[in-house]
Structure 1
Amino acid sequence: MILHNRVNRDVLKEQIRNSTRKRTTLSFYRYVQLSDPASYRDQLFIDFSKLEVLGRIYVAHEGINAQISVPDDRFEEFRQFIEESAELTGIRLNIAVDDDGKSFYKLKIQIRKKIVADGLNDETFDVTKRGTHLSAEDFNRLAQDPNTIIIDMRNHYESEVGHFENAICPDVDTFREALPLVEDMLADQKDKNLVMYCTGGIRCEKASAYYKHKGFKNVFQLDGGIIEYARQVEQKQLPNLFKGKNFVFDERLGERISDDIISVCHQCGKPADTHTNCVNEACHLLFIQCAECAEKMEGCCSTECVEVIHLPEEEQKALRKKVNLGRQVYRKGRSPKLLFKGSTELKTENK
């Protein structure tokens, strides 16, 4: 049994783009002790392949973190598999808000040291003593309390296109950077209501336990994150306090939660909130680009990259071999190639 994809990624992408078969994008996570992550990973790849699941999944001793898509005609079968799984039964499936079903084009399951890179030593505190979970209604109510501080536990490129009203949005590239920064920022406000949120809730599970360990008295987290909040707001007709887009780590790069556009094109400064990756694969920088700049710059982040994409393919491949992109693709707003970063609103809130 082959336990990884062997088809060219471009072929897979084209297949998904042209497919008329409906799929549902969703995410889930669980902190659960896995004694043998490698064996669990292999079996999960087999089981999910049979169900035609696509997506990106991280498995570690501490649990599982998944962002996937499932064919609609296999969804109930998938749900049944989850309920019959000792490791996953009872988990919440966070269904995507703004979804065309073309979020993933292959199945990739990786073994990691942690399911979220937090930089914490879990042996120094009790990770099960988490903050109080809040429904959308409870979150809205607590947000009106003057004794409440709302913290966005996501990265700068996520909060730039969408965040809750009056939230503090740390200007960080990674979750592990946000943890000590927020702790220092609020060191003299440990008696206030500390309300955290993230995309689907997984980052706040660990962060809330960490901040309780650090002496914060009233720690809360938005249950199910922005995704579940948006679902409850629509279902219960609640006021929507989230403005803009929810950044997602798949082919969509974002799902709209409100009509507000709170960010700008990184190339011309016009209101825009469409993330894209530079089409020069030796760069692949993630940035915000309006439709006009996308046409003018041919999907590139700079004139240098425009020149590269017009080189013969063999020369482009040679350039790519010399580049180790790593996480640099996410340093979009910090690239000297881009003239505009963020919006006045975000900069004011982060002073």
Structure 2
Amino acid sequence: MPVLHNRVSNEELKQRLMEEDFHRTTISFYQYFPIQNPQEFRDFLYKHLNSLQVFGRIYVAKEGVNAQISVPDANLEAFRSFLYSIEPLNKLRLNIAVDDDGKSFWVLKIKVRDKIVADGIEDPSFSMERKGRYVNAEQMNELLNDPATVVIDMRNHYEYEVGHFENAIEIPSDTFRDQLPMAVDMMKGNEEKNIIMYCTGGIRCEKASAYMLHKGFNHVFHLEGGIINYAKQAKEAGIQPKFIGKNFVFDDRLGERITEDVIAKCHQCGQPCDTHTNCKNSGCHLLFIQCESCAAAYEGCCSTACKDTLHLPLERQKQIRQGVDMGRNVFNKSKSRLRPRLDEDRQP
């Protein structure tokens, strides 16, 4: 059976999205459940979601499904009906974006992965059947009021930098697989304390909570639905959020504002700013924080060198980046070995 996917160029798909005269709702969801044939399930999803004009990014693995999508408002009920017709996904919680213009995705991509969250766990006795207790927004705030509570942020540095819960501990690693053993080491001696783990939508902290229990910690909680669901519940209930700043999201928006606090700084001038962007030089594409003044001065680039490259003929730009694999190019102040030089000496 041929693999089902979209064959239209990204440029044309983006243009079509901009021309849509209807609103879309951005939704995220995940579920850990056994899938015997991920490729078959992937094609089943693609066929039905594509017919509903769903855009987004979905990962399917033997351990479950992880999705960030946008759905035309007119198709929301049909989408829910289809999703809930799949028994393990029946009545699944859907995280609705809180700061959303519906322009988060422009194509549907569904990929088969080894795991929906790459965790590096090779212990055959580890199981997702025993995991930490869910907490909602109100319960999260109550636990945070207890000075004996330990709250752990299971996201990446660039996510933590623009927003996090009060007194949250950052696990200083760039990959989830490294964070898990580091969290265990950092929490040694706290086996009997209340430990709350959180992440963007819940998928990472749910697995992290199971891992901490597996490693002998006895009072582990995780924030149900992550920051996205917390912000929604807090707003609906009129609860003062204890999350400060902006929640980084993995779509074109690059962030949802939770509070008006700006806790990060522009990586170029140091002024208060929490706006992420990608360097406009395609040979760099660095993810970094840039204020409006620097965006104008550097034309959306991370350095003068990249700005100069942007003005070269396209063929010359292609020659410069030919054979260069930028990999996961993210500005990270916590790891000097990964820190790109945001200055005029940075060579294209």
1:198 and 2:199 equivalent? Answer: yes
The residue type paired with residue 337 of structure 1 is: R
Residues 111-120 or 18-27, more deviating: 18-27
Q: Matches of residues 1-351 of structure 1 in structure 2 within 5 Å?
A: 3-121=4-122, 123-327=124-328, 329-333=329-333, 334-338=338-342
CA deviations 1:230-266 (Å, max 9, x no partner) are 1111111112101000000000000000000000000
Q: CA separation of 1:223/1:247 partners in 2, compared to 1, >3 Å: closer, same or farther?
A: same
Contact 1:301 1:337 in 2 (8 A): no
Q: What's the counterpart of residue 345 of structure 1?
A: none
1:86 CA displacement = 2.5
CA deviations 1:160-193 (Å, max 9, x no partner) are 0000001111222121121111111111111111
Distance in 1, Cα, partners of 2:23 & 2:37: 34
| TM-score normalised over the length of structure 2 | 0.94
Residues 11-20 or 262-271, more deviating: 11-20
1:8 CA displacement = 1.3
Contact 2:26 2:100 in 1 (8 A): yes
Distance in 2, Cα, partners of 1:317 & 1:75: 42
Contact 1:286 1:332 in 2 (8 A): no
Contact 1:16 1:102 in 2 (8 A): yes
Equivalent residue pairs, number: 338
The residue type paired with residue 131 of structure 1 is: G
Contact 1:55 1:104 in 2 (8 A): yes
Q: CA separation of 1:309/1:216 partners in 2, compared to 1, >3 Å: closer, same or farther?
A: same
Q: Does the residue aligned with 1:26 lie in a helix, a strand or coil?
A: strand
1:15 CA displacement = 2.4
CA deviations 1:37-76 (Å, max 9, x no partner) are 0111112111111010100110001110000000111111
Distance in 2, Cα, partners of 1:190 & 1:206: 18
Distance in 1, Cα, partners of 2:3 & 2:224: 37
CA deviations 1:196-225 (Å, max 9, x no partner) are 110111111111111011111110011111
Q: What's the counterpart of residue 346 of structure 2?
A: none
Distance in 1, Cα, partners of 2:320 & 2:101: 34
1:80 CA displacement = 0.8
Distance in 2, Cα, partners of 1:292 & 1:318: 30
| TM-score normalised over the length of structure 1 | 0.93
Q: Does the residue aligned with 2:170 lie in a helix, a strand or coil?
A: coil
The alignment's C-alpha RMSD in Å is 1.4
Q: CA separation of 1:2/1:63 partners in 2, compared to 1, >3 Å: closer, same or farther?
A: closer
Q: What's the counterpart of residue 342 of structure 1?
A: none
Q: Does the residue aligned with 2:124 lie in a helix, a strand or coil?
A: helix
Q: Does the residue aligned with 2:103 lie in a helix, a strand or coil?
A: coil
Distance in 1, Cα, partners of 2:266 & 2:21: 32
Q: CA separation of 1:67/1:58 partners in 2, compared to 1, >3 Å: closer, same or farther?
A: same
Residues 222-231 or 10-19, more deviating: 10-19
Q: Does the residue aligned with 1:40 lie in a helix, a strand or coil?
A: helix
1:319 CA displacement = 2.8
Give the unaligned 5+ runs of structure 1: 340-351
Distance in 2, Cα, partners of 1:74 & 1:121: 41
CA deviations 1:254-301 (Å, max 9, x no partner) are 000000000000000000000000111111110000001001101101
Distance in 2, Cα, partners of 1:212 & 1:338: 41
Q: CA separation of 1:18/1:274 partners in 2, compared to 1, >3 Å: closer, same or farther?
A: farther
Residues 282-291 or 122-131, more deviating: 122-131
